């Protein structure tokens, strides 16, 4: 298991506002929300970033999108934005793969 902050959340060594969990994935509210609803979906498998995933992760990566969809619906979101920061240059700060799901406001394009 990863020793990152998110690994510690999976292991319940750090508290988080967990809103979904199954054997493969976890979703919890972002501690510094950038929208009225902002949660993170993470795999329990410790993949540091998207570019570290490989062909063997195909089913897991698709599954994370289904979890994002399920939890977004659970949160009452119809329109929402998914974001993955891959690497420091893309503002990734925690090196355990995570999908940001943001909703409850409108979003502009292109993103900053």
Q: Among all residues, which ones are annotated catalytic?
A: 98
* Cα radius of gyration rounded to whole Å, the chain: 13
Q: What is the DSSP letter of 91?
A: T
Whose Cβ is closer to ligand AMP: residue 17's or residue 22's? 17
Residues 48-107 that bind ligand AMP (CB under 6 A): 85, 91-94
Figure out which of the listed residues 10, 16, 27, 68 binds ligand AMP, where binding follows CB under 6 A: 16
* Least distance CB 43 / ligand AMP (angstroms): 14
SS3 86: coil
- Alpha-carbon 75 to chain mean position: 15
């Amino acid at each position: 298991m990863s020793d990152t902050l998110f690994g510690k959340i999976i292991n319940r060594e750090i508290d988080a506002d967990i809103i979904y969990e199954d054997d493969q994935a976890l979703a919890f509210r972002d501690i510094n929300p950038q929208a009225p609803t902002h949660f993170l979906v993470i795999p329990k498998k410790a993949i540091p970033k998207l570019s570290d995933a490989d062909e063997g992760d195909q089913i897991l990566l698709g599954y994370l999108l289904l979890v994002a969809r399920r939890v977004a619906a659970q949160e009452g979101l119809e329109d929402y934005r998914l974001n993955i920061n891959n690497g420091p240059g893309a503002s990734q700060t925690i090196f355990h793969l995570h999908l940001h799901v943001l909703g409850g406001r409108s979003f502009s394009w292109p993103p900053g």
